[in-house]
Amino acid sequence: MRFFHFFILFIIVNSCLKNIREINYDPSQASVIVNEIQKKLISQLKIEKDLYPWEFGGGAKNPIRLIHCGFVYYNDIDIATARKLIILVVNKFVNEINTNEKIRPFLEVYPFKPENMEIRIFLKNSNGSELSAEKLHVISIINGKLKYKTGIPSSEGLPLTTIYQETYEEAMAKISNASEKISL
């Protein structure tokens, strides 16, 4: 009788493990879900914030550690506006990922966090030309750090200079302390 119970238990566990392996090791399924999320949000952000998709990726590796997006924004903005814009984008993505139950088995970390997002927003004039060098050219969040870069070459020979940086938490605190709120 013990053998029978052991055998049944073995079949059940093996069946469950097989299903978990199938879920966890099908990167194409993860990519499809990530692409669906990205397409949905890219469309929303284009309509709501005039952000135009430039590049996107992530989700091809399992487990998903990082999702990457890049946008072009045709406006000259200051750091405070840039902060609100990139935080809005990050929060939309993180919220959408965390509420999507289909993607959860593929995530390395749940809940997904801003540190798992890599977003760059490239700033241009409304006619598509480059902004003057002293203006903000790129806003990014990588590893939970926001960076604001101008078009002035850096002293290290890089094409852009980081003029300010802060953590996601610092940026959120500044937005929370300001009278203006961001909305998802």
The angle formed by the CA atoms of residues 37, 40 and 46, to the nearest 5 degrees, is 130
Distance CA 85, CA 168 (A): 13
Please determine, for residue 137, whether its predicted confidence score (pLDDT) is greater than 90: yes
Band of pLDDT at residue 21, cut at 50, 70 and 90: very low
pLDDT at 31: 82
What residue spans of the chain are helical by DSSP H?
2-24, 27-49, 79-99, 168-177
pLDDT in tens, 30-73: 888 888 998 999 999 999 999 999 887 665 567 888 999 999 99
Summarize the confidence of residues 133-158 as an average pLDDT.
Answer: 92
Report pLDDT digits (tens) over 95-125: 999 999 999 999 999 999 999 999 999 999 9
Domains of the chain by start residue, with CATH: 27-177 (3.30.300.30)
- Residue whose token pair is 């002035």: 152
Mean pLDDT of the chain: 84
The reported pLDDT for the residue numbered 13 is 44
What is the model's pTM? 0.79
Residue 73's pLDDT is 97
pLDDT band at residue 19 using 50, 70 and 90 as cut-offs: very low
Please, where are the H alpha helices in 63-141?
Answer: 79-99
Q: With contact defined as beta carbons under 8 Å apart, do 73 and 126 qualify? A: no
